[in-house]
């Protein structure tokens, strides 16, 4: 995510290190020593303020992804610890600045040590929180930027059915493709041009036929995209799979249909280039039943590996989407 790339969160240890380095360079007197400590702590925690601002404006899709790996309470606790520390540090700095200008010798020295200790310990209390926030920022930096207003085609389906192959065939997205389940572990975004309109194509990890509560972290990322992003969904199935029967794959479809909040859902019977006539016929028939039951709008037969076939399907779905946007 682009906005997160400009944020840096320093850990408590990094802040201490910075203070130590400044001391080594030398400080003029106690007053400027204390000011330096205060300034380093405040400037090093600007990142947490920016993060707080970023999180306030974050869309539900990102929150859902965050909540898969982080506890929201822990994040909030970290943010408010830093906000409190900054506010109190400013107050203490003003208080001890005044003391240092009126006290003399031993009293001034004591006030200096006490003030510095109190200011630093405010941030020591946030030590754990800062680590959480630092990890959160790194996590956000690695997330793809998704434009909520661009027309979007989301690929979904069981593992190993060809979702990533489809995304590679039609868009600039470069998700890894391999012949084993759960190759894709993250949301991947690609772009394609449709009659001059920039369309997002989103690859998601594979899903199994089980309730969301039982899903692993990787599957939950797919659920976040399916629930929270706007767009049309192409659900692929693999009629040649030895790993999951077509019937089970269509059970996954039922689960997905329940997550979509009215998004247009299409089924693609993939790998038509290697499937036998019987396999294709059975998969098509069963998928058509899902259409009759009102779960999906239409069934396509395709080989995602062939660019022109995948692009034809993508273009038709996107034209429908643009004609009848959600
Ligand atoms: N013959 C043929 N093979 C395909 C086709 N589409 C995908 N494959 C192969 O199927 C395997 C899985 O493809 P992926 O695109 O990685 O599947 P996926 O659905 O993204 O898998 P996960 O990320 O694990 O959920 C790879 O070996 C692909 O080359 C197709 O249309 N025809
Ligand atoms: Mg994949």
Structural domain spans, the chain: 2-142, 152-323
What are the C-alpha distances in Å from 211 to residues 38, 164, 220, 222, 236? 51, 23, 10, 13, 19
CA dist., res. 93 & res. 109, Å (int): 15
Q: Residue 308 carries which DSSP code?
A: H
- Going by pLDDT thresholds of 50, 70 and 90, the confidence category of residue 2 is confident
Tokens at 129, concatenated: 């929180």
* Those residues with Cβ within 8 angstroms of residue 4's Cβ, 6 or more apart along the chain or in another chain: 51, 54, 137, 140, 141, 143
Closest listed ligand to the CA of 238: 1
Global pTM reads 0.92
Report the topology of domain 152-323.
Answer: Rossmann fold (3.40.50)
Which alpha helices (H) appear in the chain, and where do they start and end? 12-25, 30-44, 46-56, 60-69, 72-102, 105-124, 127-142, 163-170, 217-228, 246-257, 277-292, 307-323
Q: Starting from the edge strand earliest in sequence, which strands make up the sheet with 298-301, in order?
A: 188-194, 197-203, 152-156, 232-237, 265-269, 298-301
Q: How far is CA 117 from the centre of its chain?
A: 38
| Angstrom distance (rounded) from CA 299 to CA 320 | 14
161 C-alpha to ligand 2 centroid (Å): 8
Q: How far is the CA of 143 from the centre of ligand 1 (A)?
A: 23
Given a cut of 90, whether residue 177 has pLDDT beyond it is yes
Whether 301 lines ligand 1, by a CB cut-off of 6 Å, is: no
Our mutation pick for probing the ligand 1 site, out of 155, 156, 162, 234, counting the most ligand atoms within 8 A of Cβ, is 162
**Would the pLDDT of 321 be above 90?**
yes
Give me the chain's average pLDDT, please.
97
Give the Å distance between the CA of 180 and the centre of ligand 1. 8
Q: What is the Cα–Cα distance from 203 to 222, expressed in whole angstroms? A: 9
Please name the CATH architecture into which domain 2-142 falls: Up-down Bundle (1.20)
DSSP-derived 3-state class of residue 10: coil
Written as six digits, the tokens of 273 are 């280039």
Residue with tokens 């400009």: 6
Confidence of residue 26 (pLDDT cuts 50, 70, 90): very high
For 61-77, what is each residue's pLDDT tens digit? Answer: 999 999 999 999 999 99
Per-residue pLDDT tens digits for 305-316: 999 999 999 999
Please say if the pLDDT value at position 98 is more than 90.
Answer: yes
pLDDT band at 205 (very low <50, low <70, confident <90, very high): very high
Nearest atom of ligand 1 to the alpha carbon of 165 = 15
Check pocket membership of 305 for ligand 1, CB cut-off 6 A.
yes
Place of tokens 């822990």: 74
Residues 269, 280: contact at Cβ < 8 Å? yes
Query: Is the minimum distance from the CB of 220 to ligand 1 under 6 angstroms?
Result: no
Is the model's pLDDT at 326 over the cut of 70?
A: no
Question: Ligand 2 centre and the CA of 301: distance in Å?
Answer: 19
Average pLDDT over residues 38-58: 97
pLDDT given for residue 325 in this prediction: 64
What is the 3-class SS of 124-144, one letter each residue? HCCHHHHHHHHHHHHHHHHCC
- From the number of C-beta atoms within 10 Å of its C-beta (0-12, 13-18, 19+), residue 298 rates as middle
pLDDT(324) > 90: no
Query: Looking at residues 284-300, what average pLDDT do you find?
Result: 97
Q: Determine the distance separating the centroid of ligand 2 and the alpha carbon of 235, expressed in angstroms.
A: 13
Pocket test for ligand 1, best of 156, 157, 160, 279 (most atoms within 8 A of CB): 160
DSSP 8-state symbol, 293: T
Q: Kindly list the distances between the CA atom of residue 305 and the CA atoms of 124, 142, 300, 312, in Å, as whole numbers in the listed order.
A: 55, 28, 14, 12
304 lines ligand 1 (CB under 6 A): yes
Mean pLDDT in residue range 73-87: 98
DSSP string, 218-257: HHHHHHHHHHHS-SEEEEEE-TT-SSS-HHHHHHHHHHHH
Are both 2-142 and 152-323 of the same fold?
Answer: no
């Amino acid at each position: 995510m682009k906005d997160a790339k400009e944020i840096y969160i320093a850990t408590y240890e990094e802040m201490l290190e910075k203070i130590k380095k400044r001391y080594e360079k030398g400080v003029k007197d106690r007053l400027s020593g204390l000011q330096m400590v205060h300034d380093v702590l405040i400037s090093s925690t600007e990142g947490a303020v920016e993060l707080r601002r970023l999180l306030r404006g974050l869309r539900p899709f990102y929150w859902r992804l965050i909540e898969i790996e982080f506890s929201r309470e822990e994040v909030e606790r970290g943010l408010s610890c830093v906000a409190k520390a900054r506010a109190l540090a400013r107050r203490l700095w003003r208080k001890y600045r005044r003391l240092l200008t009126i006290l003399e010798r031993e009293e001034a020295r004591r006030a200096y040590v006490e003030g510095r200790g109190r200011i630093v310990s405010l941030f020591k209390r946030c030590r754990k929180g800062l680590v959480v926030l630092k990890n959160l920022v790194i996590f956000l930096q690695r997330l793809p930027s998704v434009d909520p207003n661009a027309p979007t085609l989301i690929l979904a389906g069981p593992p190993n059915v060809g979702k990533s192959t489809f995304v590679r065939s039609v868009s600039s997205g470069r998700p890894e493709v391999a012949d084993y389940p759960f190759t894709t572990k993250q949301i991947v975004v690609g772009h394609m041009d449709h009659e001059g309109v920039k369309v997002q194509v989103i690859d998601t990890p594979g899903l199994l036929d089980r309730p969301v509560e039982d899903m692993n972290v990787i599957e939950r990322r797919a659920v976040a995209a399916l629930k929270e992003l706007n767009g049309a969904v192409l659900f692929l199935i693999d009629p040649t799979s030895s790993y999951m029967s077509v019937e089970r794959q269509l059970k996954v479809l039922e689960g997905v249909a329940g997550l979509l909040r009215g998004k247009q859902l299409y089924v693609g019977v993939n790998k038509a280039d290697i499937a036998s006539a019987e396999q294709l016929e059975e998969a098509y028939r069963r998928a058509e039943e899902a259409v009759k039951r009102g779960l999906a709008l239409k069934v396509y037969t395709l080989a995602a590996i062939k660019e022109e076939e995948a692009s034809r399907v993508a273009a038709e779905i996107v034209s429908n989407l643009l004609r009848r946007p959600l």
